[in-house]
Amino acid sequence: MRSENAAPILLKDYQPTPYLIEKVDLDFRLNPTHTTVRSKLTVRRREGAAATAAIELDGDDLKLDGVCVDDIPLAEEEYTATPDRLMIPAPAAERFELTIDTSLDPSKNTQLMGLYVSSGTFCTQCEAEGFRRITYFYDRPDVLAPYTTRMTANKKAYPVLLGNGNLVESGDVTGTDEHYAVWHDPHPKPSYLFALVAGNLAHISTDYTTSSGSPVKLNIYVEHGNETRADWAMDSLVRSMRWDEQVFGREYDLDVFNVVAISDFNMGAMENKGLNIFNDKYILADPDTASDADYAGIESVVAHEYFHNWTGNRITCRDWFQLCLKEGLTVFRDQEFSADERSRPVKRIADVQRLKAAQFPEDGGPLAHPVRPEQYKEINNFYTATIYEKGAELVRMIKTLLGERGFRKGMDLYFERHDGEAATIEDFIKSFEDATGTDLRHFMLWYSQAGTPTVTAEATYDAQAQTLTLTLSQETRPTPNQPQKKPLVIPIRFGLVAANGKDVGYSKVEGATVNADVLLLNEAQQTVVFHGISEKPVPSLLREFSAPVNLRSNLSLDDQLFLMGRDSDPFNRWQAAQTVATRLLISRSRGENLPQEASFIDALGEIAADTCLDTAFRALALQLPSEADLAREIGENVDPDAIGRAHEDLRAAIGQRLYGYLRDLYVELAPKDSRFDPGASAAGVRALRNRLLGYLAASGEAEGHGLVKAHFDSANNMTDRLSALVLLDHLNLPGKTEALAAFEARHKTDHLAMDKWFTVQATCPAPGTLARVKELTNHPAFSWTNPNRVRSVVGAFCAGNQRQFNAPDGSGYDYLAETTLQIDGKNPQLAARILNSFRSWRSLEAGRQEKAKAALKSILDSGQELSTDTKDIAERCL
């Protein structure tokens, strides 16, 4: 485990390596407890580098068995080696072959970085710095080389041997029970994209032909018996490949594309060249075990990893500070893909919900960092919502600023210029500037300035002058290391909505640049005057969520209710509903009921029944902001119990006021036949129906409670079964115990389904949940070494249970501290990830703050040796 007290790595210190690696030849002899690796590197001194320059390679926990230069073993005084460094002070030649032998014990690799064994299958995870746990190397993204990988393993135990690129040779090793395979990847790549897999796996295959006619074999490997559960992932892959050809003009570039599903995996998935490795959660699906959210998640993660082939692999990052160059861009691409495959407004709402739930709190707390950070202590801690989700928002804003055509021109130029290179954000932005003649210097600030800006808008209408004046201002609060903030360029998509719901036109505008429906706010304060407006409109601002900001306006609740019912932009209809609900809920949490509540509830009823709207949209519009959303809106002195009670009460009020109406709708929407369709429109109906059921359950009506149990019993798919189970458990409804037992009996052998059963219980808002969480960790289906299991119990409790994690006695915080310490010795990445749940502790009321702070301190003071990952998060949180 890495636990050094290292100084931070700085962006401004970037230096290229003195040597280049022209070719990498790897030879693995795979054995679970003793694997040997021979790495032959063709090394050439970089032009201009000093002849005396040392070659210094990264390692992590390595055991060196020997090192040769041009096949001659080096004497001990000719190099220095530690588990994390190999240094040859002055290689004599300008070009030479360096051979390095290391040996590993993959069975003991509990960090799941480097080469490890998961359910008997050898697999690798090298991003960000896992390759150095396999062999000594320049383990950084700007050192690119073609790789050849030879693997030898027992044929019976590991019949499948996979590597990057194309298979060039395979066969039996005569006289042994072993076989071998040789894979060659002609595309130069950095070490983080290296992968191998060896195991006893089944697979499904499809033949794909690229738009220019090249045949590609697509394979998805899973455990035996899971073959049919990979069909949806394959379908998603084929659609992604076609979409990238059509929308970005990008084709696949090898003969084969392999995907492997693994059950022990720290993250979602990994885009290794030609050999993507996935957390099986993002591959396996069937109606009985996967929810609609899982189907959508598989579609987007499969697409994401595939899209990395161009944005990440063909063009990679110069250094890890540029991580958003591949991640933000690739998230943007996968979001666009899902928007095209499904409903664009529904996808946009879901993406914004996620941004606000995951990124806004990060940006507003002690872990805030710029989309392109300038320093880090542990790069694994920077695979964050800021890099990914906010990074995607920045790409989206570039598209908003340049328009569809300008954006495509810039992307084309980026691919043309930088294919085969390790690029920077400057390279990316320059491509857009040069392709369109736009100056994006001011826009660059979005990459270096952390924090979520708050935009304030005040509208006044002057009937006499027929003008609408918008006073806009922006402010970004200080974040760690950035006390002073500058104004950003903020594209605000807008419309001025007349009483009939249509946008009114205007004769001219002063005070801001306006292109079509996008207004540019680029100063701290701007007064924008629209002329020639004959009736008082309601401004609809930030349509489609055109910038990642918090918007505050002087619109009244009645104006918001109007937009909720009439805005032509579906996103802002949804946003207006959220804004109204937020104000009602915050008032309720302070003990007052606003008079507009009844109108709001009736407006919800209208949306519920409006068949002109997409069902999935109706389901989203009917969803109240989460308790975490409310805590974020309140921002300080937060009392999660008061929020939780307000939430419960408003749900009950909605259920009671609309009971008969929602029940009839619920009945009407019942599926006509029992065939399951995972597509977006059928999923939308399920989402709406389950939302209605939630209000029927919250109403307190006995009939409503009965409907929930009946819904559970008759469910023929996971989405319905799970929605009902959540209601039964969280509202403590009759039939809860039987339902939990029935779910467990039905799914006990399926880990992914059992994760849902764990999460339902860990997120129950009732007192006693912490004790239940502790019990769940003793369940036979639970395991402390599997990241999905830990996240489904501990992660779900800490991140998804506002009331019980934040219990006023601090028990939730103490549990997280203890658990972090327990996991840290085995899997630092996982420990650091769950520890993130402390990031908003400063916004709590004083009593809870004190308890949270003490728990965080107890981690640093425990006396246990901490990983760099956990130490970094704990220190930054404090």
Q: Which two tokens stand for residue 394?
A: 């920045």
Residue 754: contacted member of Zn ion, ligand ARG, none (CB under 5 to 8 Å, by partner type): none
- Segment holding 706, helix H or strand E: helix 702-714
Of 267-275, 472-480, 493-501, 831-839, the window that binds ligand ARG (rule: CB under 6 A) is: 267-275
Of 7-15, 265-273, 702-710, 738-746, the window that binds ligand ARG (rule: CB under 6 A) is: 265-273
Question: Closest CB to ligand ARG among 331 and 603?
Answer: 331
Of 302-310, 624-632, 656-664, 819-827, the window that binds ligand ARG (rule: CB under 6 A) is: 302-310
CA distances from 713 to 721, 735, 736, 805 (A): 8, 10, 11, 31
CA distances from 110 to 115, 208, 535, 824, 825 (A): 10, 37, 67, 10, 9
Beta bridge partners of 37: 28, 102
Q: How far is the CB of 312 from ligand ARG (least distance, A)?
A: 7
Q: How far is the CB of 127 from ligand ARG (least distance, A)?
A: 5
> Which residue of 128, 429, 613, 620 would you call a contact of ligand ARG, by CB under 6 A?
128
Which CB contacts under 8 angstroms, 24+ apart, belong to 410-417? Answer: 410/435, 410/436, 411/248, 412/249, 414/315, 415/249, 415/250, 415/310, 415/314, 415/315
Of 303-311, 335-343, 397-405, 552-560, the window that binds ligand ARG (rule: CB under 6 A) is: 303-311
Among positions 318-337, residues that touch ligand ARG (CB under 6 A) are 327
Residue 27: contacted member of ligand ARG, Zn ion, none (CB under 5 to 8 Å, by partner type): none
Question: Closest CB to ligand ARG among 654 and 835?
Answer: 835
Q: How far is the CB of 834 from ligand ARG (least distance, A)?
A: 15
Question: Closest CB to Zn ion among 283 and 718?
Answer: 283
Please check whether residue 328 is in contact with residue 391, taking contact to mean a CB–CB distance below 8 angstroms.
yes
Residue where the block lists tokens 């990241």: 787
Residue 20: contacted member of Zn ion, ligand ARG, none (CB under 5 to 8 Å, by partner type): none
Three-state SS at 826: coil
Out of 129, 305, 336, 544, the active site residue is 305
Among positions 823-852, residues that touch ligand ARG (CB under 6 A) are 829
- d(CA 345, CA 311) in angstroms, rounded, equals 25
Question: Closest CB to ligand ARG among 332 and 494?
Answer: 332
φ and ψ at 473, to 5 degrees?
-140, 160
Q: How far is the CB of 830 from ligand ARG (least distance, A)?
A: 10
**Short-list 677, 671, 628, CA closest to 801:** 628
DSSP string, 195-249: -EEEE--EEEEEEEE-TTS-EEEEEEEE-TT-GGGGHHHHHHHHHHHHHHHHHH-
Question: Closest CB to Zn ion among 347 and 588?
Answer: 347
Please check whether residue 466 is in contact with residue 534, taking contact to mean a CB–CB distance below 8 angstroms.
yes
Q: How far is the CB of 379 from ligand ARG (least distance, A)?
A: 7
DSSP string, 723-745: HHHHHHHHTT-TTHHHHHHHHHH
Question: Closest CB to Zn ion among 329 and 693?
Answer: 329
Rounded to 10°, the helix 640-657/627-634 angle is 130
Question: Closest CB to ligand ARG among 128 and 425?
Answer: 128
Q: How far is the CB of 125 from ligand ARG (least distance, A)?
A: 6
Residue 380: contacted member of ligand ARG, Zn ion, none (CB under 5 to 8 Å, by partner type): ligand ARG
* Runs of H (alpha helix) within 391-539: 391-418, 425-436, 445-448
- d(CA 533, CA 461) in angstroms, rounded, equals 9
Please check whether residue 222 is in contact with residue 230, taking contact to mean a CB–CB distance below 8 angstroms.
yes
Question: Closest CB to Zn ion among 102 and 330?
Answer: 330
Q: How far is the CB of 196 from ligand ARG (least distance, A)?
A: 17
Question: Closest CB to Zn ion among 334 and 629?
Answer: 334
Residue type, 226: N
> Which residue of 25, 60, 127, 567 would you call a contact of ligand ARG, by CB under 6 A?
127
Q: Would you say how long the chain is, in residues?
A: 878
Residue where the block lists tokens 């070719």: 23
Q: Show Cβ contacts of residue 871 under 8 Å, excluding neighbours closer than 6 positions.
A: 3, 860
Check residue 271 for interaction with ligand ARG (CB under 6 A). yes
> Which residue of 270, 411, 624, 658 would you call a contact of ligand ARG, by CB under 6 A?
270
Please check whether residue 383 is in contact with residue 373, taking contact to mean a CB–CB distance below 8 angstroms.
no
Q: Which two tokens stand for residue 739?
A: 């339902």
Angular region, 637: left φ>0, alpha ψ -120 to 50, beta rest = left
Pairing of the two strands 256-262 and 514-515? unpaired
Total chain residues near Zn ion (CB under 5 A): 2
Q: How far is the CB of 144 from Zn ion (least distance, A)?
A: 18
Q: How far is the CB of 346 from ligand ARG (least distance, A)?
A: 23
Q: Answer yes or no: 305 catalytic.
A: yes
Check residue 60 for interaction with ligand ARG (CB under 6 A). no
Q: How far is the CB of 305 from ligand ARG (least distance, A)?
A: 6
Among positions 321-380, residues that touch Zn ion (CB under 5 A) are 327, 330
Question: Closest CB to ligand ARG among 278 and 530?
Answer: 278
Pairing of the two strands 316-317 and 269-270? unpaired
> Which residue of 264, 286, 305, 869 would you call a contact of ligand ARG, by CB under 6 A?
305
Check residue 266 for interaction with ligand ARG (CB under 6 A). yes
Among positions 364-423, residues that touch ligand ARG (CB under 6 A) are 380, 383
Q: How far is the CB of 435 from Zn ion (least distance, A)?
A: 24
Check residue 633 for interaction with ligand ARG (CB under 6 A). no
Of 216-224, 257-265, 304-312, 856-864, the window that binds ligand ARG (rule: CB under 6 A) is: 304-312
Q: Which two tokens stand for residue 559?
A: 């104006």
φ and ψ at 535, to 5 degrees?
-135, 155
Residue 383: contacted member of Zn ion, ligand ARG, none (CB under 5 to 8 Å, by partner type): ligand ARG
- d(CA 565, CA 435) in angstroms, rounded, equals 41
Of 261-269, 347-355, 760-768, 795-803, the window that binds ligand ARG (rule: CB under 6 A) is: 261-269
Residue 267: contacted member of ligand ARG, Zn ion, none (CB under 5 to 8 Å, by partner type): ligand ARG
Given the rule CB under 5 A, which residues bind Zn ion? Answer: 327, 330
- Which residues participate in catalysis according to the annotation? 305
Given the rule CB under 6 A, which residues bind ligand ARG? Answer: 125, 127-128, 266-267, 269-271, 304-305, 308, 327, 380, 383, 829
